[in-house]
Amino acid sequence: MRITFILPGFISIPMGGVKVVHEYANRLSRKGHEVTLIYPVITHSRQFVGRLHWILKQTYNKLTNVKDELYYTPDSRVTVLVVKKAISKYIPAGDSVVAVGWQTAFWVNNLPDRHGKKFYFLQHFETYFKSKKAVLNTFRMPLVKFAIARWIIDKLKDIGETALGPLGNAINPEEFYLEANIKNRPNDVVVIYHHMNVKGPKDTIAILKQLKKSQNISAILVSSRRPVHQIPSWIKIKIRPSIEELRSFYNSSKVFIHTSHSEGWGLPVMEAMACGCAIIAYRNRGVMEYLIHDVNALLTPIGDRKTLLSQLNQLLQDAYRREKLAKQGLKTVQQFSWESSVFKFEDVISKGA
Protein backbone atom coordinates (compact mmCIF):
# COMPACT_ATOMS: atom_id res chain seq x y z
CA MET A 1 0.00 0.00 0.00
CA ARG A 2 1.21 3.54 -0.80
CA ILE A 3 0.95 5.63 2.38
CA THR A 4 1.84 9.33 2.58
CA PHE A 5 2.21 11.27 5.84
CA ILE A 6 1.96 15.09 5.75
CA LEU A 7 3.94 16.55 8.65
CA PRO A 8 3.48 20.02 10.20
CA GLY A 9 6.54 21.78 8.79
CA PHE A 10 10.28 21.28 8.53
CA ILE A 11 11.11 19.60 11.85
CA SER A 12 14.65 20.39 13.06
CA ILE A 13 14.21 19.64 16.79
CA PRO A 14 12.92 16.56 18.68
CA MET A 15 9.12 16.34 18.76
CA GLY A 16 7.20 13.41 20.22
CA GLY A 17 4.46 13.40 17.59
CA VAL A 18 6.96 13.38 14.74
CA LYS A 19 9.01 10.64 16.42
CA VAL A 20 5.84 8.53 16.58
CA VAL A 21 5.20 9.04 12.85
CA HIS A 22 8.76 7.96 12.07
CA GLU A 23 8.25 4.77 14.07
CA TYR A 24 5.16 4.01 12.00
CA ALA A 25 6.92 4.92 8.75
CA ASN A 26 9.91 2.68 9.49
CA ARG A 27 7.88 -0.28 10.63
CA LEU A 28 5.32 -0.01 7.83
CA SER A 29 8.08 0.15 5.21
CA ARG A 30 9.70 -2.98 6.67
CA LYS A 31 6.37 -4.73 6.19
CA GLY A 32 6.41 -3.90 2.48
CA HIS A 33 4.38 -0.70 2.34
CA GLU A 34 5.55 2.22 0.20
CA VAL A 35 5.81 5.08 2.70
CA THR A 36 6.48 8.78 2.01
CA LEU A 37 7.03 11.55 4.55
CA ILE A 38 6.23 15.07 3.35
CA TYR A 39 7.90 18.00 5.12
CA PRO A 40 6.54 21.36 3.88
CA VAL A 41 8.76 24.42 4.39
CA ILE A 42 5.96 26.99 4.23
CA THR A 43 3.17 26.11 6.64
CA HIS A 44 0.69 28.94 6.15
CA SER A 45 -1.95 29.18 3.44
CA ARG A 46 -1.09 32.84 2.77
CA GLN A 47 2.31 32.87 1.09
CA PHE A 48 3.58 36.16 2.59
CA VAL A 49 2.67 35.09 6.13
CA GLY A 50 4.13 31.65 5.50
CA ARG A 51 7.39 33.10 4.20
CA LEU A 52 7.62 35.48 7.17
CA HIS A 53 7.00 32.61 9.58
CA TRP A 54 9.76 30.58 7.91
CA ILE A 55 12.24 33.50 8.17
CA LEU A 56 11.44 34.05 11.86
CA LYS A 57 11.84 30.34 12.56
CA GLN A 58 15.18 30.20 10.73
CA THR A 59 16.41 33.21 12.70
CA TYR A 60 15.31 31.69 16.01
CA ASN A 61 16.98 28.39 15.11
CA LYS A 62 20.28 30.16 14.44
CA LEU A 63 20.06 32.01 17.76
CA THR A 64 19.42 28.75 19.59
CA ASN A 65 22.03 26.70 17.69
CA VAL A 66 19.57 24.46 15.85
CA LYS A 67 20.98 22.91 12.68
CA ASP A 68 19.21 23.60 9.38
CA GLU A 69 18.43 19.94 8.76
CA LEU A 70 15.70 17.45 9.54
CA TYR A 71 16.08 16.09 13.05
CA TYR A 72 14.85 12.55 12.35
CA THR A 73 16.42 10.19 9.83
CA PRO A 74 14.05 7.36 8.85
CA ASP A 75 14.75 3.91 7.43
CA SER A 76 16.34 3.98 3.96
CA ARG A 77 13.19 2.40 2.52
CA VAL A 78 11.12 5.45 3.51
CA THR A 79 10.93 8.32 1.00
CA VAL A 80 11.42 11.77 2.52
CA LEU A 81 10.37 14.85 0.54
CA VAL A 82 11.04 18.40 1.72
CA VAL A 83 8.65 20.52 -0.35
CA LYS A 84 7.79 24.20 -0.62
CA LYS A 85 4.13 23.69 0.29
CA ALA A 86 1.87 20.70 0.94
CA ILE A 87 -0.04 20.98 -2.32
CA SER A 88 -0.88 18.35 -4.91
CA LYS A 89 2.00 18.92 -7.34
CA TYR A 90 4.58 18.15 -4.64
CA ILE A 91 2.84 15.06 -3.25
CA PRO A 92 2.92 11.60 -4.87
CA ALA A 93 -0.18 9.64 -5.85
CA GLY A 94 -1.09 6.96 -3.32
CA ASP A 95 -3.66 4.81 -1.60
CA SER A 96 -3.76 6.75 1.68
CA VAL A 97 -2.71 10.25 2.75
CA VAL A 98 -2.48 11.01 6.47
CA ALA A 99 -2.68 14.41 8.15
CA VAL A 100 -0.33 14.66 11.14
CA GLY A 101 -1.34 17.54 13.40
CA TRP A 102 -4.24 19.97 13.07
CA GLN A 103 -2.35 22.30 10.70
CA THR A 104 -1.97 19.53 8.15
CA ALA A 105 -5.67 18.62 8.12
CA PHE A 106 -6.41 21.69 5.97
CA TRP A 107 -3.86 20.58 3.40
CA VAL A 108 -5.00 16.96 3.25
CA ASN A 109 -8.65 17.97 3.02
CA ASN A 110 -7.89 19.99 -0.12
CA LEU A 111 -5.94 17.28 -1.96
CA PRO A 112 -7.47 15.57 -5.03
CA ASP A 113 -8.48 11.91 -4.87
CA ARG A 114 -5.36 10.67 -6.70
CA HIS A 115 -3.44 10.95 -3.42
CA GLY A 116 -5.67 8.32 -1.81
CA LYS A 117 -8.17 8.03 0.99
CA LYS A 118 -7.83 10.94 3.44
CA PHE A 119 -7.02 10.27 7.09
CA TYR A 120 -6.44 12.43 10.16
CA PHE A 121 -4.05 10.96 12.76
CA LEU A 122 -4.91 12.51 16.14
CA GLN A 123 -2.15 12.56 18.74
CA HIS A 124 -3.76 15.30 20.83
CA PHE A 125 -6.87 17.44 21.16
CA GLU A 126 -4.90 20.61 20.49
CA THR A 127 -7.42 23.28 21.47
CA TYR A 128 -4.86 24.97 23.75
CA PHE A 129 -3.55 26.88 20.70
CA LYS A 130 -4.69 30.47 20.14
CA SER A 131 -6.48 29.33 16.99
CA LYS A 132 -8.89 27.11 18.96
CA LYS A 133 -11.74 27.66 16.48
CA ALA A 134 -9.54 26.61 13.55
CA VAL A 135 -8.47 23.46 15.43
CA LEU A 136 -12.07 22.52 16.17
CA ASN A 137 -12.97 23.07 12.51
CA THR A 138 -10.43 20.44 11.47
CA PHE A 139 -12.20 17.83 13.60
CA ARG A 140 -15.33 18.38 11.52
CA MET A 141 -13.61 17.86 8.17
CA PRO A 142 -14.63 14.77 6.13
CA LEU A 143 -11.44 12.88 6.97
CA VAL A 144 -11.27 9.40 8.50
CA LYS A 145 -10.07 10.17 12.01
CA PHE A 146 -8.13 7.81 14.27
CA ALA A 147 -6.42 8.50 17.58
CA ILE A 148 -3.62 7.23 19.80
CA ALA A 149 -5.60 7.56 23.05
CA ARG A 150 -9.06 6.81 24.40
CA TRP A 151 -9.45 10.28 25.91
CA ILE A 152 -9.04 11.90 22.47
CA ILE A 153 -11.76 9.65 21.05
CA ASP A 154 -14.01 10.68 23.96
CA LYS A 155 -13.35 14.38 23.29
CA LEU A 156 -14.30 13.91 19.64
CA LYS A 157 -17.50 12.20 20.74
CA ASP A 158 -18.34 15.23 22.93
CA ILE A 159 -18.47 17.43 19.82
CA GLY A 160 -20.43 14.92 17.78
CA GLU A 161 -17.51 13.42 15.86
CA THR A 162 -16.02 9.95 15.78
CA ALA A 163 -12.49 8.60 15.69
CA LEU A 164 -11.20 5.04 15.37
CA GLY A 165 -8.77 3.50 17.85
CA PRO A 166 -7.14 3.89 20.23
CA LEU A 167 -3.88 2.72 18.68
CA GLY A 168 -1.82 3.31 21.82
CA ASN A 169 1.81 4.38 21.88
CA ALA A 170 5.00 2.56 22.77
CA ILE A 171 8.70 3.15 23.17
CA ASN A 172 11.41 1.54 21.09
CA PRO A 173 12.96 -1.13 23.37
CA GLU A 174 16.21 -0.84 21.44
CA GLU A 175 16.47 2.83 22.48
CA PHE A 176 15.14 2.90 26.03
CA TYR A 177 15.77 0.08 28.47
CA LEU A 178 17.08 -0.65 31.95
CA GLU A 179 20.87 -0.69 32.13
CA ALA A 180 21.50 0.44 35.72
CA ASN A 181 20.36 -0.81 39.10
CA ILE A 182 17.17 0.93 40.25
CA LYS A 183 18.43 1.05 43.85
CA ASN A 184 21.73 2.89 43.45
CA ARG A 185 21.45 5.96 41.24
CA PRO A 186 23.64 9.08 41.49
CA ASN A 187 21.12 11.66 40.22
CA ASP A 188 17.90 12.47 42.05
CA VAL A 189 15.61 14.05 39.46
CA VAL A 190 15.41 14.25 35.67
CA VAL A 191 12.93 16.46 33.79
CA ILE A 192 12.08 17.28 30.18
CA TYR A 193 11.75 21.03 29.62
CA HIS A 194 9.55 22.81 27.06
CA HIS A 195 9.03 26.57 27.01
CA MET A 196 5.27 26.44 26.26
CA ASN A 197 3.12 27.24 29.32
CA VAL A 198 0.93 24.18 28.68
CA LYS A 199 3.99 22.01 29.37
CA GLY A 200 4.34 23.47 32.87
CA PRO A 201 7.95 24.75 32.77
CA LYS A 202 7.37 27.28 35.58
CA ASP A 203 5.94 24.53 37.76
CA THR A 204 8.99 22.33 37.18
CA ILE A 205 11.46 25.09 38.05
CA ALA A 206 9.51 26.26 41.12
CA ILE A 207 9.23 22.70 42.49
CA LEU A 208 12.94 22.02 42.03
CA LYS A 209 13.84 25.32 43.73
CA GLN A 210 11.66 24.47 46.72
CA LEU A 211 13.02 20.95 46.91
CA LYS A 212 16.56 22.26 46.98
CA LYS A 213 15.74 24.22 50.14
CA SER A 214 14.96 21.05 52.07
CA GLN A 215 17.27 18.52 50.40
CA ASN A 216 20.70 18.62 48.82
CA ILE A 217 19.44 17.22 45.52
CA SER A 218 20.86 16.93 42.01
CA ALA A 219 18.84 17.38 38.84
CA ILE A 220 19.18 17.07 35.07
CA LEU A 221 17.04 19.19 32.74
CA VAL A 222 16.75 18.04 29.11
CA SER A 223 15.63 20.55 26.49
CA SER A 224 15.33 20.75 22.70
CA ARG A 225 16.47 24.38 22.73
CA ARG A 226 18.18 26.73 25.15
CA PRO A 227 15.62 27.38 27.93
CA VAL A 228 13.87 30.76 27.88
CA HIS A 229 13.25 30.57 31.63
CA GLN A 230 16.02 31.18 34.17
CA ILE A 231 17.34 27.83 35.36
CA PRO A 232 19.23 27.61 38.70
CA SER A 233 22.96 27.02 38.19
CA TRP A 234 22.93 23.78 40.22
CA ILE A 235 20.65 22.11 37.66
CA LYS A 236 22.56 20.39 34.85
CA ILE A 237 21.13 21.44 31.45
CA LYS A 238 21.42 19.08 28.47
CA ILE A 239 20.27 20.36 25.06
CA ARG A 240 19.27 17.85 22.36
CA PRO A 241 21.16 14.87 23.78
CA SER A 242 21.56 11.76 21.65
CA ILE A 243 19.36 8.75 22.36
CA GLU A 244 22.32 7.10 24.10
CA GLU A 245 22.86 10.16 26.31
CA LEU A 246 19.16 10.48 27.12
CA ARG A 247 18.96 6.80 28.03
CA SER A 248 21.96 7.33 30.32
CA PHE A 249 20.29 10.33 32.03
CA TYR A 250 17.15 8.30 32.68
CA ASN A 251 19.13 5.31 33.95
CA SER A 252 21.18 7.44 36.32
CA SER A 253 18.11 9.17 37.85
CA LYS A 254 15.78 8.13 40.65
CA VAL A 255 12.68 10.16 39.78
CA PHE A 256 11.20 11.65 36.61
CA ILE A 257 8.97 14.71 37.16
CA HIS A 258 6.26 15.49 34.60
CA THR A 259 4.44 18.80 35.16
CA SER A 260 2.75 19.10 31.77
CA HIS A 261 -0.84 20.39 31.98
CA SER A 262 -1.89 18.70 28.75
CA GLU A 263 -0.50 15.73 26.82
CA GLY A 264 -1.79 13.53 24.05
CA TRP A 265 0.10 10.61 25.53
CA GLY A 266 3.33 11.71 27.21
CA LEU A 267 6.01 9.63 25.50
CA PRO A 268 9.00 10.83 27.61
CA VAL A 269 7.23 9.48 30.70
CA MET A 270 7.26 6.00 29.16
CA GLU A 271 10.90 6.42 28.13
CA ALA A 272 11.85 7.23 31.73
CA MET A 273 9.76 4.31 33.05
CA ALA A 274 11.53 1.92 30.67
CA CYS A 275 14.83 3.04 32.17
CA GLY A 276 13.77 2.49 35.78
CA CYS A 277 12.72 5.97 36.92
CA ALA A 278 9.89 6.36 39.41
CA ILE A 279 7.29 8.77 38.02
CA ILE A 280 5.63 11.77 39.67
CA ALA A 281 3.25 13.58 37.33
CA TYR A 282 0.35 15.95 37.01
CA ARG A 283 -2.86 14.09 36.33
CA ASN A 284 -3.19 15.13 32.66
CA ARG A 285 -5.40 13.09 30.34
CA GLY A 286 -2.51 11.71 28.27
CA VAL A 287 -0.52 10.03 31.04
CA MET A 288 -3.70 8.69 32.61
CA GLU A 289 -3.95 6.33 29.62
CA TYR A 290 -1.29 4.20 31.35
CA LEU A 291 -0.48 5.65 34.79
CA ILE A 292 -2.37 4.66 37.95
CA HIS A 293 -1.80 6.58 41.17
CA ASP A 294 0.23 4.71 43.78
CA VAL A 295 0.51 1.67 41.50
CA ASN A 296 3.02 2.67 38.83
CA ALA A 297 3.34 6.41 39.57
CA LEU A 298 2.32 9.20 41.91
CA LEU A 299 -0.25 11.57 40.37
CA THR A 300 -1.34 15.00 41.57
CA PRO A 301 -3.98 17.48 40.37
CA ILE A 302 -2.74 19.70 37.54
CA GLY A 303 -1.08 22.83 38.93
CA ASP A 304 -0.87 21.50 42.50
CA ARG A 305 2.79 22.24 43.08
CA LYS A 306 2.50 21.83 46.86
CA THR A 307 1.24 18.24 46.70
CA LEU A 308 3.72 17.23 44.01
CA LEU A 309 6.58 18.72 46.04
CA SER A 310 5.43 16.85 49.15
CA GLN A 311 5.22 13.56 47.25
CA LEU A 312 8.63 14.14 45.70
CA ASN A 313 10.19 14.79 49.10
CA GLN A 314 8.66 11.60 50.46
CA LEU A 315 9.70 9.49 47.49
CA LEU A 316 13.33 10.60 47.61
CA GLN A 317 13.41 9.64 51.29
CA ASP A 318 11.56 6.33 50.88
CA ALA A 319 13.74 4.08 48.74
CA TYR A 320 11.44 1.08 49.09
CA ARG A 321 8.39 2.93 47.76
CA ARG A 322 10.40 4.51 44.94
CA GLU A 323 11.78 1.16 43.83
CA LYS A 324 8.33 -0.44 44.00
CA LEU A 325 6.82 2.23 41.72
CA ALA A 326 9.79 2.01 39.34
CA LYS A 327 9.50 -1.77 39.02
CA GLN A 328 5.76 -1.55 38.38
CA GLY A 329 6.48 1.14 35.79
CA LEU A 330 8.79 -1.26 33.96
CA LYS A 331 5.99 -3.83 33.80
CA THR A 332 3.55 -1.21 32.49
CA VAL A 333 5.79 -0.17 29.60
CA GLN A 334 6.14 -3.79 28.53
CA GLN A 335 2.37 -3.98 27.99
CA PHE A 336 2.64 -1.60 25.03
CA SER A 337 4.37 -2.52 21.78
CA TRP A 338 4.90 -0.96 18.38
CA GLU A 339 3.94 -4.26 16.79
CA SER A 340 0.45 -3.93 18.25
CA SER A 341 0.11 -0.25 17.32
CA VAL A 342 1.28 -0.83 13.74
CA PHE A 343 -1.16 -3.72 13.35
CA LYS A 344 -4.01 -1.42 14.41
CA PHE A 345 -2.75 1.31 12.07
CA GLU A 346 -2.72 -1.09 9.13
CA ASP A 347 -6.24 -2.20 9.99
CA VAL A 348 -7.54 1.41 9.97
CA ILE A 349 -5.77 2.31 6.72
CA SER A 350 -6.68 -0.86 4.84
CA LYS A 351 -10.37 -0.64 5.73
CA GLY A 352 -10.49 3.07 4.99
CA ALA A 353 -8.67 2.70 1.68
Q: Express each pLDDT in 329-353 by its tens digit.
A: 999 999 999 999 999 999 999 887 5
User: Which one is the CATH code of 2-170+337-352: 1.10.1200.10, 3.90.1150.10, 3.20.20.70, 3.40.50.11090?
Assistant: 3.40.50.11090
Using alpha carbons, list the distances in angstroms from residue 3 to 31, 209, 310. Answer: 12, 48, 48
Which residues of the chain have a pLDDT value below 70? Answer: 43-66, 129-130, 353
Closest C-alpha among 193, 173, 149 to residue 288: 149
How far is the CA of 30 from the CAs of 16, 34, 35, 311, in angstroms? 21, 9, 10, 44
Q: Is 187-333 assigned to CATH 3.40.50.620? A: no
276 Rama class: left (phi>0) / alpha (psi -120 to 50) / beta: left
> ∠ CA(218), CA(224), CA(230), 5° rounding?
55
Q: Is the pTM of this model over 0.75?
A: yes
Q: Name residue 187's beta-bridge partners.
A: 253
Task: Break the chain into its structural domains and give their ranges.
Answer: 2-170+337-352, 187-333
Q: Tens digit of pLDDT for each residue in 250-295?
A: 999 999 999 999 999 999 999 999 999 999 999 999 999 999 999 9
- What per-residue confidence (pLDDT) applies to 158? 96
